[in-house]
Structure 1
Amino acid sequence: MEGAQSSGEPTQDRQDRRVLWFPGRGKPRRFGDLPDGAWKRIAKRTFDQYRADGVTNLAAALTYRSVLSLFPGMVAFVALLGLVGEYPQTFNGVLQIAGSIAPPSTVQTISGPVREVITNKGGAGALLGVGLVVTVWAASGYVGTFSWAANVMWEARRGRSWYRQWPFNVAVTLVALVLATFVLSALVLTGPVARAVGSQLGVGPIALKVWSIAKWPAIVVVVTLMISGLYYIAPNVRPPSWRWLTPGAIFAVIAWAISSAGFGVYIAHFNSYNKAYGTLGAIVTFLIWLWLTNTAVLLGVELDSEIERERQLTVDPGAADQIQLPLRQE
């Protein structure tokens, strides 16, 4: 046993396979090094585990958390832009961006309540403070639920106690909110909104032109960091290495884009929700779109876990029963 541990070989303790870890020797380091037929097996196991892990139910739980986070987050974001003035332009810019990535009925569902809160309550500063507090509380719940779902798919038990999990969730939420604010601001600050804000900040037309070009690669980098970071730190397992962009993250973005586009086409041509639910049809449409979004994100986690299983199977058949990575916390 001591010789196996000193040489870096996995132990044979079958009572807790969670402590087993292959340090990488003998495993394919690049995806192109996987054996023939590996991707076919990965695809099959991903689909099988999608059903076995109840990803649709996990996505429903994340959808609930998303709803709690979205409205106060949007109020806080619009209030933040409102601090620099130009309220109607900033709000309309947010709606325009939302309309480009979500079904039209989703925008209608969001715009009414948010506009009412902004116009009927206090100033932008008060709205920003209240919105941030509620958003951090709600979004930290999303992070905790996502960690639970990721542990299910990585076959890891929950290691953090509640008094450690809550500060972890809040810390991740704060970082994510900073990055998300940058992304949303970059998307909204374009065209007339960018010129209006730039005039108040004393920014010239050349700088605005540079911004309109440079913001897109910056957005790609920030979104990549957000997805990869969440995939890396959410589960209670220690992956072999950090990757800026995993196959699961790429798949999640593609799956989200396809499902959103397909759902948008369905709503535009076969909108039966308004007939079935009446005035609640827009809300039902919005919830389904959020569920599709969270399902795509979780499928990316499932794919990454099955790729790691395939890598481990090249050196030990026992990985078929359980992915063998060390826990972050026992």
Structure 2
Amino acid sequence: MKPDWQHYFDTAKRFIRLYAQRCQQDQITMIGGYLAYISLLSLVPFIAVMFSMLRAFPMFSQFRQSIETFVYANVIPSRGEEIQTYISQFIGNTGGMTAVGITALVIVALLLIYNIDKTLNKIWRVTKRPRPIISFSIYWMILTLGPILFGSSIVLSSYLVGLTRFAENYTPGLSTFALGIVPYLISMLAFFILYVVVPNIKVRSRHAFYGALLATVLFELSKRGFGFYIAHFPSYDTIYGALALVPILFVWVYLCWLVVLLGAELTALLQQIAADTEPADADDPDQISPEPEVKTD
């Protein structure tokens, strides 16, 4: 009889092998490059639509600069301020666009959401898709309500951090801890919502939590590693000169999508294992019951 530690080791080894096989089968490296390319095409339209939605609500006007600074500082390592300057200029150029141009911007932004939806549903092996009108309604809701929810989370976080500063005299270091942990919590919440909401299938909360935890850890490690590389190995600036920002942004977006896909693969694998080993429970809202097979004569 094997000792307990060897049993756990063998189980972990089988799980890692299944995880690696699933990632290889889904070709996440190639899909990540495709999504990075689509993201670069949709980046300016998506951000333009997002901040346009925020401008529609006066409560976010005084926090807009804080929101922009938070996004670029915690999402894009090392060159965030430079990228923020260029993207702000691009967004400013969209102010004089006609109705046709604005419609084109919205369509391109929706294209990004559509490709994210298609990719994640492929990872979850979802073949049954909702009708196009329902899908369009969901995409539109994400495009309109997403920025509002994101802005609200930033405002709430700023408010909570402000409260901790009043308690600094009683608990030294509390505000510093709060400022440090907020980006991690927001990142994990974003990954969790992505893995729960986007797939056209019921996803267990605990599976999405583990996937979001992995994605958050990988994202923070990638951010620090990429920032260290850009700061200490400026090969892009030497080779590309003034155009160095383009390959830097593309490589970073590609790494971000690999992180998203790795977290999604973990969530989908945990869900698949649970569906194969646990009996269906009709009273559990998170339980995924397999669809009955239709027999044909």
Shared topology, TM-score over 0.5? yes
| Amino acid of the structure 1 residue aligned with 2:209 | T
Aligned residues: 264
Give the secondary-structure state (helix, strand or coil) at the position aligned to 1:246: helix
Q: For 1:92 and 1:229, locate their aligned partners in 2 and report how far apart those are by CA, in whole Å.
A: 23
- From the superposition, tell whether residues 296 and 325 of structure 1 become closer, same or farther in structure 2 (CA, over 3 Å): farther
The offset of 1:172, in angstroms, is 2.9
TM norm structure 1 = 0.63
1:234 to 198, 202, 209: 198
- From the superposition, tell whether residues 325 and 274 of structure 1 become closer, same or farther in structure 2 (CA, over 3 Å): farther
Q: Which residue of 2 aligns with 1:170?
A: 140
Query: 5+ unaligned residues in a row in structure 1: which ranges?
Result: 1-34, 195-204, 317-323
Q: Which residue of 2 aligns with 1:320?
A: none
Q: Which residue of 1 aligns with 2:284?
A: none
More deviation in 150-159 or 282-291?
150-159
Matched, 1:282 2:252: no
Q: Which residue of 2 aligns with 1:22?
A: none
CA contact (8 A) 2:35 2:257 kept: yes
Paired-residue identity, %: 21
- From the superposition, tell whether residues 121 and 55 of structure 1 become closer, same or farther in structure 2 (CA, over 3 Å): closer
- From the superposition, tell whether residues 183 and 77 of structure 1 become closer, same or farther in structure 2 (CA, over 3 Å): farther
The offset of 1:137, in angstroms, is 4.1
Structure with higher RCO (Cα < 8 A, 6+ apart): 1
Q: How does 1:2-81 map to 2 (within 5 A)?
A: 36=8, 37-75=10-48, 77=51, 80=55
Give the secondary-structure state (helix, strand or coil) at the position aligned to 1:307: helix
| Amino acid of the structure 1 residue aligned with 2:68 | V
The offset of 1:220, in angstroms, is 6.4
Q: Which residue of 2 aligns with 1:144?
A: 114
- From the superposition, tell whether residues 147 and 96 of structure 1 become closer, same or farther in structure 2 (CA, over 3 Å): closer
Matched, 1:309 2:272: yes
2:73 to 89, 93, 99: 99
Q: Which has the higher helix share?
A: 2
TM norm structure 2 = 0.69
Give the secondary-structure state (helix, strand or coil) at the position aligned to 1:104: coil
- From the superposition, tell whether residues 130 and 248 of structure 1 become closer, same or farther in structure 2 (CA, over 3 Å): farther
The offset of 1:266, in angstroms, is 1.0
Tell which structure's C-alpha radius of gyration is larger.
1
The offset of 1:312, in angstroms, is 3.9
| 1:233-267 deviation per Cα after TM superposition (whole angstroms, max 9, x unaligned) | 3223333x334952111000111111121111111
| 1:150-180 deviation per Cα after TM superposition (whole angstroms, max 9, x unaligned) | 1222222252233332212222333322222
- From the superposition, tell whether residues 247 and 117 of structure 1 become closer, same or farther in structure 2 (CA, over 3 Å): closer
- From the superposition, tell whether residues 282 and 206 of structure 1 become closer, same or farther in structure 2 (CA, over 3 Å): closer
| Amino acid of the structure 2 residue aligned with 1:40 | K
The offset of 1:222, in angstroms, is 5.8
CA contact (8 A) 1:150 1:235 kept: yes
Give the secondary-structure state (helix, strand or coil) at the position aligned to 1:172: helix
Q: Which residue of 2 aligns with 1:181?
A: 151
| 1:88-131 deviation per Cα after TM superposition (whole angstroms, max 9, x unaligned) | x964873465235423334313313414654x786xxx99x999
CA contact (8 A) 1:154 1:305 kept: yes
The offset of 1:288, in angstroms, is 0.9
| Amino acid of the structure 1 residue aligned with 2:36 | T
| Amino acid of the structure 2 residue aligned with 1:237 | I
Q: Which residue of 1 aligns with 2:285?
A: none
- From the superposition, tell whether residues 273 and 215 of structure 1 become closer, same or farther in structure 2 (CA, over 3 Å): closer
CA contact (8 A) 2:207 2:270 kept: no
The offset of 1:183, in angstroms, is 3.7
Please provide the CA RMSD for this pair: 4.3
Q: For 1:137 and 1:216, locate their aligned partners in 2 and report how far apart those are by CA, in whole Å.
A: 36
Q: For 1:227 and 1:179, locate their aligned partners in 2 and report how far apart those are by CA, in whole Å.
A: 14
CA contact (8 A) 1:53 1:153 kept: yes
Query: 5+ unaligned residues in a row in structure 2: which ranges?
Result: 1-6, 168-173, 280-287, 292-297
The offset of 1:41, in angstroms, is 2.1
| Amino acid of the structure 2 residue aligned with 1:59 | G
